[in-house]
Amino acid sequence: MPSTLLLRNADMVVTMNEDRREIAGGGVFAQDNRIVAIGPSAELPQTADEVIDLAGHVLLPGLVNTHHHMFQSLTRAVPAAQDAELFGWLKALYPIWAGLTPDMVRVSSETAMAELVLSGCTTSSDHLYIYPNGVRLEDSLEAAAAIGLRFHAARGAMSLGESRGGLPPDSLVEDEAAILKETQRLIERHHDAGRFSMRRIVVAPCSPFSVSRDLMREAARLARAYGVSLHTHLAENDSDVAYSREMFGMSPADYAEDLGWVGPDVWHAHCVKLDEAGIRLFGRTRTGVAHCPCSNMRLASGIAPVRRMRCAGVAVGLGVDGSASNDGGHLLGEARQAMLLARVGHGPADMTARQALEIATRGGAAVLNRDDIGVLAPGMAADLVAFDLRTPGFAGAGHDPVAALVFCAPATVAWSVIDGRVVVREGRLATVDLPVLVERHNRLARRLVRGD
Ligand SMILES: [Zn+2]
C-alpha cells in the first residue's frame, strides 16, 4: 500500500511553477515520494495516512543548496583565518584541515546537514576536496543517509602542491591517477541517475589553483562517460583571475571552455569576477553558477553579477559555501543575503524577494541538472518546507507572507518533508539526536584545531 501525506490550509502555497502560481489557503497531497495534487485545500483529497494542518504557515518547495564544504563546520571563526582574503584564509586553514579524520568528516557533515535542513534545505551538494588520514566520500554519504537529505556528493580533489605552483601544501595533495580511479569507483558504487534520486556523485577537482590542466580535462572525460555532473570553483576574486591569467594566459571562463568545462552538466561556484564574454559563454552553453553571497562578503571577494548572468540565460543557484567562510549554513538566510547584496551593488530593483526564492528553489534544481525538484507540481518530488509566520520575527508582515520569508530575519523551518518523509516536525529534526550530535561535533572541533 502506498503511504499518503496531506498538507493543507497553508496561508499561502508558493509553487514556483512556470507561471509562478501562489495559492492562498492551499495544500499538497503526496503519495510515497511524489506530489499527486496541489491546489486550494477544498479541492484536495480530505484524508491521508498523515494530515498536517498548516494554518499560519507558508508552504514552498524545499530549498536547494548548490555549494558547500561541510567539514569546515569544524573550523568556524578560527582566529587566524578571520580577517583574510581567499588565498590567505586557505593558507591559514590547510594545516589544520590536514588533521581531519573519517569520524570528523562524518560528524561535521551530519551537523552541517542538520543546520541546513532546519533552514529549509531539502537537497544539498557537498564539495569534499580533502582526504587525509583515510577520509573517504562515504563518510559524507553516510551522514546524508542518516539525516534524510537529498544529496549530491562532489568528489573534490587537490593535486597541485606548492612545489609545483599550486596553493595547498604538498602534503595535502593526491596523485592524479588515484583521484580518477577513486572517483570512478564512487560513481559505479553510489551514483543513482534515476528520477527522485537521493544520491548522486559529482566529479569535482577543487579549483584552477589546486589541480592541473590534465586533471581537469580527464575529469570532464570521466564525468561525461558516466553522465554525471562536473563542479569546481571559478573566478572567485581578483587574485583568482590574476592566477588564471598568469598561469594559463587566459580568463577563468576561457580556461573553463578550453578544458571542456561548460555545458548544462557543469556548475561553477562563485563566478564573482566572470567577465562579459564569460557570462555570454555560460548563458549560451547553459553552464550553471552557485552564488554564495555570504562567503563573497566574508572574504571581501566582491559582488557576483547575478542579474546579468540570469538575463543571459545562466542557471544560477544559491550556495552557503563552506562553514568556515560564511560561517553559517542557513539557506533561507542566504537567499536574504543574495537579495541584499544585489541591492548594495545595483540598486533596490536588482533582486526581488520572489527572485531570491526562485534562485533558492528552481534555480538550484537547474544548476544540479534536475527536473524533479525545486517546483511544487504533480509528478515532482515531495520535497516541501513550511515556515510558521505566527512568530515575533514575522509580526506585522502578513501583507505579503511570501516576501516576508526573505525580508524578515531568517527563520527556522517548522516542517520539512524530503522524498515524502517528514524530516522536521514542528521545528524539531526527527532523524537525529541534535544535542548529542552537536556535543560530539564540538569535541572533535577542539581536537582538530587545538589538539585536545
Ligand atoms: Zn567553496
CA–CA gap between residue 195 and residue 361 (Å, rounded) = 17
Predicted confidence at residue 269, as pLDDT, reads: 98
- Return the pLDDT at 1: 79
Percent of the chain with pLDDT over 90: 97
Could you give the residue ranges of the DSSP H alpha helices within 2-157?
86-97, 102-118, 138-147
Nearest in space to 382 (alpha carbons), one of 123, 112, 105, 146: 123
Q: Quick one: cell of 400?
A: 505579503
User: For position 156, what pLDDT does the model report?
Assistant: 97
- Could you say which residues of the chain have pLDDT below 50? none
Distance 123 CA to ligand 1 centre (A): 17
Separation CA 437–CA 268 (nearest Å)? 31
3-state secondary structure of 22: strand
The Cα–Cα gap between 48 and 42 comes to 14
Q: How far apart are CA 326 and CA 339, in angstroms?
A: 16
Label residue 58 exposed, middle or buried (CB < 10 Å: 0-12, 13-18, 19+).
buried
The Cα–Cα gap between 365 and 372 comes to 8
How big is the CA angle at 15 (ends 120 and 423), to the nearest 5 degrees? 30
Distance 292 CA to ligand 1 centre (A): 8
Q: How far is the CA of 186 from the centre of ligand 1 (A)?
A: 21
Strand partners for 35: 30
3-state secondary structure 244-292: HHHHHCCCHHHHHHHCCCCCCCEEEEECCCCCHHHHHHHHHHCCEEEEC
Distance 269 CA to ligand 1 centre (A): 6
Residues within 5 Å of ion ligand 1, judged at the Cβ atom: 269, 321
pLDDT of the residue at 451: 86
Give 397 Cα–ligand 1 centroid separation in angstroms: 34
451 φ/ψ sector (left φ>0, alpha ψ -120 to 50, else beta): left
Question: How many angstroms separate the alpha carbon of residue 452 from the centre of ligand 1?
Answer: 28
Question: What is the pLDDT, as a whole number, of residue 169?
Answer: 94
Across 350-377, b (16+ Cβ under 10 Å) vs e yields: bbebbbbbbbbbbbbbbbbbbebbbbbe
The Cα 311–Cα 279 span in angstroms is 10
Give the CA distances from residue 319 to residues 167, 185, 292, 422, in Å, rounded to whole numbers and listed in that order: 23, 27, 5, 24
Write the DSSP symbol of residue 304: -
172 CA distance to ligand 1 middle (Å): 17
